[in-house]
Amino acid sequence: MTPHTFRRQSLWGRKHLLALLALPVLLLTGLVGNQARVHAASYCQVTYTVVSQWPGGFSVNLVLQNTGSSTWNGWTLTFTFPASGQAVTQGWNGNFSQSGQNVTVTNASWNGTVAVNSSVNLGFNGTWTTSNPTPTNFAVNGNACGGSSGGSGTPTPTPTPSPTPGSTPTPTPSPTPTPGATVTPTPTATATPAPTSTPSPAVHVDNPYAGAQGFINPYWAAEVKAGAASVGGTLGQKEAQVANYSTAVWLDSIAAVTGGTGYPTNLAGYLDAAEQQAASSSLPIVITFVIYDLPNRDCAALASNGELSVSNNGLAIYESQFIDPIAATFSQAKYSNLRIVTIIEPDSLPNLVTNLSIAKCAEANSSGAYVQGIQYAINKLHAIPNVYIYVDIAHSGWLGWTNNFQNAVTLISNTIKGTTAGVNSIDGFISNTANYTPTTEPYMTANELIGGQPVRSANFYQWNNYIDEMPYDIDMRNAFIAQGFPSTIGMLIDTSRNGWGGPNRPTGPSSATDVNTFVDQTRIDRRYSRGNWCNQPGGIGARPQANPAPGFDAFVWIKPPGESDGSSTLIPQGPNNPTGKGFDPMCDPNYGGNAMNNYQPTGAMPNAPVAGAWFQAGFDTLVQNAYPPF
């Protein structure tokens, strides 16, 4: 999908901060919406905050404070919904029940004792019909908590991310782990009556992948299965397993949203398929879309050139014909139970960091098209409570040098700070989208000395500060937090093709004392150059999983394994290239390379079709080189 530019830097970078970060603390920040603060003379104060609301649904945080003169040893909260259609569907940190419009909540086993001036956090998801007014008659243990300043019942969606139930300092019970899903607790479901068959709308949680089941793209899975059947034997059996994993859906043109030639369905078709999967799942479905149609897209490469150009009014078209329809579709009430993750414009801002010498990138920069397009997309998407936003930060082999790193943090931070909700508009960042950089080089570290020389000084690393993605992401996350982003941001890594298993994978560090020999014999990244990005024989990597490490929301498969990065030779627009994809020599196995890959061979697999098309021989290699193996 993309090239990168090496920027040599002869100075030593700082040693990586490898110490594991503390688990991100989920903060009760940014609560907006309808809030009723009810003061009691002598016993209790209840704060009822509608943290998000959408047609037919809402989510509430409650804070109970003991304003009396003695400790509560157990508590019962009562209040009455003013409107007849209001109902609790799922609560946490308390046992919720409802009779008519009267709601009763008793303490959970762990939060019954509340000292004077202490408080308890709890909350619930609910439904409403005609209006959603705020209750006023709160009482704790039969003691009225006083009058109230009622919130309005206007069904205005509040875009601010709401804290998850896990944000309270109380234990939450563990849910039953589901294969391929996660181990993170889901909200304590203590509401009565028991959940109905209608899925309740998703709240904006801190980590959308936690406690969720990943969407299986049925069209991609069908290609995987057909390929597996055509190959047969042991390899075919392994290939068939791949169809069971969640992959992202790429919205790479207007036709991908509306439907058209070259696309098996449109955006609504994917969301409908996700609803079908939700109907037979006890967990919420998380579906990931790549937002990928900026004007002058892929400005430094040719294989994933886009349909829009800056000079042809591309920014306005992007906003009105691409982003607006996406946002309108995501906003539909029938999809409000899904967790919709968006990956924002891979490679775009990174290209503005390193590739301004290329005219298409310079134009994307000087016109403001990339920055404004991304800000427009984030504003529209952030306004939808069940949509999650992760912004692309390329990968360590591209932005790992100190200058590139700092310039990227500045540009990306400023772009996001320029949105309506600023640093609170996003959920995190993603690295290695559609690339091949290992999550971890298992047998060496960047600053380890070999023959007196640091590993990172080897020709293969060109003094880059990072040899793998995890330390890069940890440092990026810290750099963004230092820029004012909340500590709730989490990182994603695309592990779809960075496994580097198979027969050529080293099994331990080399004993060589020459740093270049050592690195070449030790690295699992078998590319000729880290600048190589097209159809590499990398191998499927870690399976999608939530919370793989502190600070990381998930390992995800963004590039669907088996889909080409670009054609090995020029394929003119026609039956084998319906959308008019370009040809980049980095996809030609016979091309000698250029400055972006240190004039090394491309290492691209031969006979590949255009970007995005199914590439069976390439898929065979990715499965054979999978690590962990299938």
CB of 476 to ligand BGC, least distance (A): 23
Instruction: Return the biggest CA–CA distance within the chain.
Output: 81
- The answer to whether 347 is a known catalytic residue is yes
Shortest CB 491 distance to ligand BGC, Å: 21
Whichever of 46 and 290 has its CB closer to ligand BGC, that residue is 290
Residues at the site binding ligand BGC, with contacts judged by CB under 6 A: 1, 250, 252, 304, 434, 559-560, 563, 565, 611-612
614 forms beta bridges with 563
Q: Where are the beta strands (DSSP E) in 55-147?
A: 57-66, 72-73, 76-80, 87-92, 95-99, 102-106, 113-114, 119-127, 139-140, 143-144
Which of 347, 475, 494, 588 is flagged as catalytic? 347
- Please name which of 512, 484, 513, 488 lies closest in space to residue 414, comparing C-alpha atoms: 484
Nearer to ligand BGC, 274 or 608 (CB): 608
For 408, the enclosing helix (H) or strand (E) is helix 402-417
Q: Which of 206, 565, 588, 620 is catalytic?
A: 565
Question: How is 133-149 classified by DSSP, letter by letter?
Answer: PPP---EETTEE-----
Minimum separation from the CB atom of position 626 to ligand BGC (A):
18
Handedness of CA 474, 475, 479, 482 (dihedral sign): positive
- For ligand BGC, which is the closer residue by CB, 34 or 435? 435
Within 10 Å of residue 320's Cβ, how many Cβ atoms?
A: 11
Minimum distance from residue 581 beta carbon to ligand BGC (Å):
7
Residue 113 contacts residue 71 (beta carbons within 8 Å): yes
Nearer to ligand BGC, 6 or 250 (CB): 250
Q: How far is the CB of 48 from ligand BGC (least distance, A)?
A: 45
Q: Which residue is nearest to ligand BGC (CB)?
A: 612
Instruction: Specify the residue, 565 or 588, whose C-beta has the smaller distance to ligand BGC.
Output: 565
CA–CA separation, 516 vs 456, rounded Å?
10
For ligand BGC, the closer CB: 91 or 537? 537
CB of 405 or CB of 619, closer to ligand BGC? 619
DSSP letter, residue 329: H
Residue 169's CB is within 10 A of a number of other CB atoms, namely 11
We find the least distance from the C-beta atom of residue 565 to ligand BGC, in angstroms, to be 6
For the bound state, the minimum distance from the C-beta of residue 112 to ligand BGC, rounded and expressed in Å, comes to 52
Chain length of the chain: 630
What are the angstrom distances between the C-alpha of 623 and each of 157, 235, 440, 496, 500?
44, 8, 19, 11, 10
Euclidean distance between CA atoms 439 and 398, whole angstroms: 14
- Does residue 565 have an active-site annotation? yes
**Total Cβ atoms within 10 A of residue 122:** 25
Give yes or no for a contact between 112 and 72, defined as CB atoms under 8 angstroms apart.
yes
Catalytic residues: 347, 565
